[in-house]
Amino acid sequence: MDFRKLPIRNLVRRPGRTATLVLLVLLLSFTMFGGALTLLSIRGGTKSLEGRLGADVIVVPSEMASKVNLDNVLLMGTTGSYYMKADILDQIRAVEGVEKASAQLFMASLRASCCSVAVQVIGFDPEEDFTVQPWITRSFKRGLGDMEVLVGSRVSTEVGGNIRIYEKDCRVAGRLESTGTQMDTAVYATIDTVRTLIKAAEDLGHDLKLPGDPSELVSAVYVKVSDGASADNAAGYINGHIRRTEAIRTKNMLTDVSDSMAGVSFVMTILIAAVWLLVFFLILIAFLMILRERKKEFASLRVLGASSGMLSSMVFRETAIISFTGGLAGIALACLIVFPFSALIEKMLDLPFLRPAAGTIAGLAVGTLVMCMITGIIASAWSAYKLGHVDVSMILREE
Amino acid sequence: MSLLELKDISKIYGELKALDNVSIHVDKGEWVAIMGPSGSGKSTMMNIIGCMDKPSKGQVFLDGVDISKESSRKLTEIRRDKIGLIFQQFHMVNYLTAVENIMVSQYYHSLPDEEEALEALGRVGLRDRAKHLPSQLSGGEQQRVCVARALINHPELILADEPTGNLDEANENIVLDLFRQLHREGTTLIVVTHDPEVAEAAQRTIVLEHGRVAREIINENFQE
Ligand SMILES: Nc1ncnc2c1ncn2[C@@H]1O[C@H](COP(=O)(O)OP(=O)(O)OP(=O)(O)O)[C@@H](O)[C@H]1O
Ligand SMILES: [Mg+2]
């Protein structure tokens, strides 16, 4: 037999105790890994959101602003079909402090025979856009041609295939990386393409209640102010001087998001700390309890020539096996829950949720495992020391 | 030639002198019995000789080397290399089989060798019980496994504290026969006992009383 496997023999011989300890560590690793993963996903979602919201001010038609929850529209990427005159863009560009302004045009396809999928179509200006363009450039390098679309990560149509919108075929030129928002379910095209599609819809008899010819309409204008200029002033000016528009400061929205993120972070951190403490003390107590029962066994091994170091390391190896097994199981369980149900978690927390890169997840898993092992080893350190240094002379006086 | 020499050994627990200026010596190959009433210090002495405890005062020479001041790590090494121990309560590792209990001793000493461990079991007449756990062995059988375990690393000195205290007559005789064999092979034996019959098997008996050597008796009838 292999005596390096003595710790395993010990663990197998007491299945109840071993299972309890493994479950405790599982609880710890599940909370740590699951919690950290959720936090990182939210942080990732918010980060990508901040990047996309490179705009300081968003201008939308005023009737739009009063109708829907703008936070949702702009943060989660939900769009609607609302329109204003395209010349507003020039007026905005003329406002003092405005460095860049670019327009987007939205429309929606229908779940009907004219369209292969019901999606939001977002038209942007590849030359001027600074909100979605940087994100798009990451996965799609060349320019977007006429009647070409890019699909969000959750749109099922394959790259190279066609999407039919109001009986017009649009070629899918590429797929965009995931953002964790509803932008992932949308389709992106040039403003001109979207105008063609809007015309096609009208030709098919759909009344989109357009306030003018599609070629003269936009849905939203994204504004970046120059360094040193005040976004509040620019928004105020637009609200005061450009009719039938509503200018919204994006910072306020982001503050809301960071506030709720801070709240979730705080709760998570407290939860992880509480579980850690609980598990630490339970393991500590479990080992103190077995300290008494195992004194004799260790004294016997000591008498047979085992050194204190050998015995302490035997206890540590038992702990390491328990921590490793429990840690791994907890991580696996967290993966099984967090990944398939990320949409549900996103809904519950009402925050954008973007799964971190595989490398980050792997790092997180390793970190969690290490934490579990350290916790187990610290919690059993006292018992390991005591068992290693058990008083051998008592063995002759034991009854 | 002397294997073991205790020089003015005392072991003091608070007010109590468990051992009080004890001096004895044991020759290489000798078989010595230690007797005395309960509480007279026999186990205390065994602990010191067996490198499981240190004296409060005095010196212990094993193979000419003073071990009374050694660190517990060094004492562990000495015990591993030179001493085989047998206890009244057996002290087998209860989740290991008979043969594994012997192999643990080999493992901590050098390398486990199952063949050799089985041979040792054969020597105490228990080869067929090799795969039994302690709980599946009778007291006598457990003690015989412990004898096999004590001799497996060929120690110079075998220390036994009441080895027959929990055994019936038949098993006591088996154990004593094993001791006779070990003695013939040149192993030094120190056996603590309450049983005059066990003491009479030895060459010499040291009697302790109140932590002191009360007298020594040479066994005229000792048979090789
Ligand atoms: N750790 C200790 N602390 C205090 N007193 C102790 C300790 N160990 C032993 N003693 C005392 O030392 C004395 C000698 O004990 P020891 O175990 O050596 O006796 P013994 O001769 O082996 O007795 P027995 O025949 O009952 O086994 C006893 O009075 C005992 O109570
Ligand atoms: Mg005793």
pLDDT single digits (tens) B12-39: 999 999 999 999 999 999 999 999 999 9
* B58 conformational bin, left if phi > 0, alpha if psi -120 to 50, beta if neither: left
* Cα B162 to ligand 2 centroid, rounded to whole Å: 8
Are residues A115 and A102 part of one domain?
yes
pLDDT single digits (tens) A173-211: 999 887 777 778 889 999 999 999 999 988 888 887 888
Residue A274 corresponds to which amino acid?
A
Are residues A369 and A287 part of one domain?
yes
Across the range A13-37, mean pLDDT stands at 92
Mean of per-residue pLDDT scores for chain B: 93
Residue A66, pLDDT score: 67
- Is residue A320's pLDDT more than 60? yes
Are residues A55 and A40 part of one domain?
no
Are residues A381 and A294 part of one domain?
yes
User: Would you state the structure tokens that stand for residue B79, as one six-digit string?
Assistant: 């015990």
Residue B30, pLDDT score: 96
Are residues A59 and A138 part of one domain?
yes
Minimal-distance CA residue of chain B relative to A310: B108
User: Which chain A residues are closer than 8 Å to B94 by Cβ?
Assistant: 297
Are residues A196 and A153 part of one domain?
yes
Asked if B208 and B35 touch (Cβ cutoff 8 Å), the reply is: yes
- Is residue A339's pLDDT more than 70? yes
Percentage of residues of chain A with pLDDT beyond 90: 32
Measured between alpha carbons, how far is B104 from A302 in angstroms, rounded to an integer?
Answer: 11
Across the range B82-109, mean pLDDT stands at 91
Asked if B45 and B68 touch (Cβ cutoff 8 Å), the reply is: no
Atom of ligand 1 nearest to the CA of B41: 18
Are residues A245 and A274 part of one domain?
no
User: Which chain B residues are closer than 8 Å to A304 by Cβ?
Assistant: 80, 104-105, 108, 149
- B71 burial (CB, 10 Å; 0-12 / 13-18 / 19+) is exposed
User: Which chain A residues are closer than 8 Å to B149 by Cβ?
Assistant: 304
User: Which chain A residues are closer than 8 Å to B76 by Cβ?
Assistant: 302, 305-308
Residue A78, pLDDT score: 58
β-sheet with B2-13: strand ranges across? B16-27, B2-13, B57-62, B65-66
Dihedral angle, C-alpha A166, A168, A171, A177, nearest 10 °: -20
- Report which of residues A61 and B224 the model is more confident about: A61
Q: How many CB atoms lie within 10 A of CB A124?
A: 24
Residue A345, pLDDT score: 77
The residues near A234 (Cβ < 8 Å, ≥ 6 apart) are: A56, A57, A95, A96, A97, A98, A223, A225, A247
Residues in contact with ligand 1 (CB, 6 Å cut-off): A 397; B 13, 16, 18, 36, 38-44
- Structural domain of residue A57, as residue ranges? 51-249
Domain limits, chain B: 26-55+68-218
Residue A136, pLDDT score: 83
Are residues A302 and A200 part of one domain?
no
The model's confidence at residue A244, banded by pLDDT at 50, 70 and 90, is: confident
Residue A77, pLDDT score: 57
Q: What is the 3-state secondary structure (H, E, C) of chain B?
A: CEEEEEEEEEEEECCEEEEEEEEEEEECCCEEEEECCCCCCHHHHHHHHCCCCCCCEEEEEECCEECCCCCHHHHHHHHHHHEEEEECCCCCCCCCCHHHHHHHHHHHHCCCCHHHHHHHHHHCCCHHHCCCCHHHCCHHHHHHHHHHHHHCCCCCEEEEECCCCCCCHHHHHHHHHHHHHHHHCCCEEEEECCCHHHHHCCCEEEEEECCEEEEEEECCCCCC
Atom of ligand 1 nearest to the CA of B36: 21
Report chain A residues touching chain B, CB-CB < 8 A. Answer: 1, 3, 9-10, 13, 296-297, 299-308, 310, 392-393, 395-399
Q: How many CB atoms lie within 10 A of CB B39?
A: 14
Residue among A1, A10, A393 whose CB faces B47 most closely: A393
- Is residue A1's pLDDT more than 70? no
- Domains contained in chain A, number: 2
The residues near A232 (Cβ < 8 Å, ≥ 6 apart) are: A249
Provide the sign of the torsion angle of the four alpha carbons A239, A245, A246, A247, taken in this order: negative
Are residues A324 and A218 part of one domain?
no
Measured between alpha carbons, how far is A349 from A37 in angstroms, rounded to an integer?
Answer: 14
Residue A132, pLDDT score: 82
Interface probe with A: pick from B34, B54, B85, most Cβ of A within 10 Å? B85
Interface probe with A: pick from B42, B54, B72, B147, most Cβ of A within 10 Å? B72
A342-365 burial: b if 16+ Cβ within 10 Å, else e: beebbeebebbbbbbeeeebeebb
Q: Ligand 1 atom 18: the closest Cα is on which residue?
A: B41
Measured between alpha carbons, how far is A312 from A297 in angstroms, rounded to an integer?
Answer: 13
Are residues A77 and A15 part of one domain?
no
Task: Examine the fold and report which residue of A249, A278, A298 is the final residue of a domain before the chain moves on.
Answer: A249
Domain membership flag for residue A1: no
What's this model's pTM, rounded to 2 decimal places?
0.71
Minimal-distance CA residue of chain A relative to B46: A396
Are residues A294 and A233 part of one domain?
no
Residue B147, pLDDT score: 93
Across the range B151-158, mean pLDDT stands at 94
Across the range B93-100, mean pLDDT stands at 91
User: CB B79 to CB A299 under 8 A?
Assistant: no
The CATH number corresponding to B26-55+68-218 among 3.40.50.920, 3.30.750.24, 3.40.50.720, 3.40.50.300 equals 3.40.50.300
Task: Examine the fold and report which residue of A203, A224, A249 is the final residue of a domain before the chain moves on.
Answer: A249
Nearest to B42 by CA among B192, B218, B198: B192
pLDDT single digits (tens) A66-83: 666 666 555 555 566 788
Measured between alpha carbons, how far is A209 from A202 in angstroms, rounded to an integer?
Answer: 10
* Cα B71 to ligand 2 centroid, rounded to whole Å: 24
pLDDT single digits (tens) A269-296: 899 999 999 999 998 998 888 888 888 8
Q: Do the bridges between strand B212-218 and strand B204-209 make them parallel or antiparallel, or are there none, so unpaired?
A: antiparallel
Asked if A75 and A257 touch (Cβ cutoff 8 Å), the reply is: yes
Domain membership flag for residue A20: yes
Give me the interface pTM, i.e. the ipTM: 0.84
Task: Examine the fold and report which residue of A249, A275, A292 is the final residue of a domain before the chain moves on.
Answer: A249
- Is residue A120's pLDDT more than 60? yes
Residue A130, pLDDT score: 85
Are residues A229 and A327 part of one domain?
no
The model's confidence at residue B60, banded by pLDDT at 50, 70 and 90, is: very high
Residue B8, pLDDT score: 95
